[in-house]
Homo-oligomer: A and B are copies of this chain.
Amino acid sequence: MRTDYCGKINASYIGQEVTLCGWVNKRRDLGGLIFIDLRDREGLVQVVFDPDLPEVQALANTLRAEFCIKLTGTVRARPEGQVNKQMATGEVEILGTGLEIFNKSAVLPLDWNQENSEEQRLRYRYLDLRRPVMSNKLQFRAKVTAAVRRYLEGEGFLDIETPILTKATPEGARDYLVPSRTHKGEFFALPQSPQLFKQLLMMSGMDRYYQIVKCFRDEDLRADRQPEFTQIDIETTFLGADGVMAITEGLIRDLFKQMLDVDLGDFPRMTYAEAMQRYGSDKPDLRNPLELTDVADLLAGVDFKVFSGPANDPKGRVAVIRVPGGASLSRKQIDEYTKFVGIYGAKGLAWVKVNEKANGLDGLQSPILKFLTAEIVDEILSRTGAEDGDILLFGADNATVVTEAMGALRLKLGEDFELLEGEWRPLWVVDFPMFEEADGQLHALHHPFTAPRNLTPEQLAETPATALSDAYDMVLNGVELGGGSVRIHDQTMQSTVFSILGIDKEEAELKFGFLLEALRYGAPPHAGLAFGLDRLVMLMTGATSIRDVMAFPKTTTAACPLTDAPSPANPQQLAELAIATVKKDAE
């Protein structure tokens, strides 16, 4: 129906007749002439209708915003002074000589010149997506997936589909269930990830697998969570952690080079222990220069229980953050930070302002100065590198609370004081613990198929709490882009891990019997990684919400205002599935 895209018309077209299809982005009448900006996926072009053609003029006069039309005309240079260097098509305009209206448009329920509510935007998603800022994000996403596929296929990875109707897997979140009609009373689960299937594909000898695949978690949603999300899922045989990290780091580096012309360089590696120590996070944002400095050793003897208590407790921690220029904080501002760390369980936030270092204790300002000696203060100033005008903020409690609270505070301070340096700061976090303790039971930090690092099953069983895993997370600007691990391919090791996790033989058999059985038939060493595609695209496009990089996202209550899903089922369907809905009072 057309000869070209609107957004592609430039000076090289001058003198040519073109036919374009698209939407009226804007109409304005000037000096008896009708101008429109015509829009398609590729951009905008200015059209002025030929005033010597009364029929065309009359039809053009009916045009309103978002009418969908076909336009024929001749490309010509814009008059001097009307050239718009900001627009790709800004040097030209089209003298419109033919016009067909495919469809009129009622006045839009969204006003693009102001913020619209999330609910309205999702309800009229097809209109919201017409905005170039939204359309460009989906186009960018399509280019990202195409580039990912090209890279991985070049590395010998096979795109293999795994089932959506499957069995509950142990990722830990709540499953979406699907009642079976042919096996009444039973349910499929939608996969939280294709973890077990990709491992089975390695046992099938498929060697290198990838999939860009939907995963599902029925969790209470936050700003960056969706009930269905997309994973770049990768698994390899006969490669260890270094091999997988090299391939996947290369993928992300290529992607940034190709899409954003950014060279990410080699990614540094940091142990989980160091990340928690210095940044209070297992996904540190390295653009933020603030660090946690440990000072418990200095404070074990002070007459201030808030410090000496945790300093003398093997499970305690005392850490300080130096904020350059922070001495200007008001009492009220400090109180707000105190409230902030309270969210993470911290009971207070001690502080010391450094006004004039050269004056010793007199040059400092703090309610807790009386508990500290000049020697202790000197050492703290020296360890943190404090300068005049800084503030020191102290966390003292059990180690978990201090690490979490000060880690979060670090991020907040970095933003409030606009300290972020550099645009992109990737890293690998490695040497995670195999397990974390909660309620007197060990839980898998990653998932129960993660291999320990350099341990036999016997060694692992002896000291599980201190065992490290062969897992690795890729972190960029404080966001976990992806995580993976070497998997267990030894049946005894897998049984040992299940037993450490408190999964008894019967339960292991019921849930993972097929995996344990598969390990009996020459299962190969294998390892992999999964990226969160939505989060990756969100980061690369600078989007503020994950919803902006998905075509049809759900609301925070997991509903779709556009199609009105979910909705009641008809009774006949439920009868066929042999299920019934239960009223709350009936429970």
A→B interface (CB under 8 Å): 1-2, 21-24, 39-41, 66-68, 70, 102-106, 108, 125-127, 129-130, 135, 138-139, 141-142, 145-146, 149, 153, 158-168, 174-190, 196-197, 200-201, 203-207, 214, 216, 218, 220, 227-228, 230, 237-240, 243, 489-490, 513-514, 518-525, 550-552, 554, 557-560, 562-569, 573, 575-584, 587
Contact = CB atoms under 8 A, between A and B. Distances in A.
A554 B102 CA distance: 46
B175 A176 contact: no
B584 A23 contact: no
A178 B197 contact: no
A229 to B, nearest CB: 10
B1 A238 contact: yes
A187 B582 contact: no
Contacts of A158: 138-139, 142
A125 B200 contact: yes
Contact of A205 (B103, B129, B550, B575): B129
Given A106-B521, A569-B187, A164 B68 contact: no
Contact of A560 (B102, B142, B163): B163
B40 A205 contact: yes
Contacts of A519: 103
A153 B220 CA distance: 36
B129 A206 contact: yes
A568 B238 contact: no
Given A126-B203, A153-B146, A557-B183, A564 B167 contact: yes
Given A1-B238, A158-B142, A522-B103, A567 B178 contact: no
A167 B580 contact: no
Contacts of A146: 149, 153, 159
Nearest to A179: B177
Contact of A66 (B41, B187, B521, B584): B521
A177 B21 contact: no
Contact of A573 (B177, B196, B523): B177
A558 B185 CA distance: 14
Given A70-B238, A177-B569, 18 more contacts: A39-B205, A40-B207, A104-B522, A105-B520, A105-B521, A126-B200, A126-B204, A129-B201, A139-B158, A142-B160, A167-B565, A174-B573, A176-B178, A177-B577, A186-B569, A187-B566, A578-B584, A579-B582
A102 B489 contact: yes
B188 A566 contact: yes
Contact of A564 (B164, B178, B514, B566): B514
Given A68-B522, A520-B105, A565 B188 contact: yes
A165 B575 contact: no
A164 B566 contact: no
Contacts of A227: 165
Nearest to A20: B238
Contacts of A216: 164-165
Task: Say how many copies of this protein the assembly contains.
Answer: 2
A40 B167 CA distance: 29
Given A126-B518, A197-B551, A567 B165 contact: no
A138 B206 contact: yes
A524 B103 contact: yes
Given A201-B551, A522-B105, A582 B580 contact: yes
Enumerate the 9 nearest inter-chain pairs by beta-carbon distance, A residue then B residue, closest first: A105-B522, A129-B204, A186-B566, A167-B565, A180-B566, A68-B522, A142-B158, A167-B563, A41-B207
A576 B165 contact: no
A125 B580 CA distance: 35
Given A205-B40, A216-B164, A524-B102, A187 B567 contact: yes
Contacts of A139: 158
A160 B579 CA distance: 34
A562 B521 CA distance: 15
A204 B135 contact: yes
Given A41-B207, A145-B159, A177 B174 contact: no
A552 B206 CA distance: 13
Contacts of A175: 573
A222 to B, nearest CB: 14
Contact of A184 (B238, B578, B581): B581
A361 to B, nearest CB: 57
Contact of A160 (B125, B551, B578): B551
Nearest to A130: B205
A102 B202 CA distance: 14
30 contacts: A1-B240, A1-B243, A68-B524, A70-B238, A102-B522, A103-B522, A126-B200, A126-B201, A127-B521, A129-B205, A130-B204, A135-B204, A138-B158, A138-B160, A139-B158, A142-B160, A149-B149, A162-B551, A164-B164, A165-B227, A165-B228, A167-B560, A177-B178, A177-B577, A180-B559, A184-B581, A185-B581, A185-B583, A187-B567, A514-B564
A67 B182 CA distance: 38
Contacts of A70: 238
Contact of A558 (B67, B182, B569, B583): B182
Contacts of A575: 582, 587
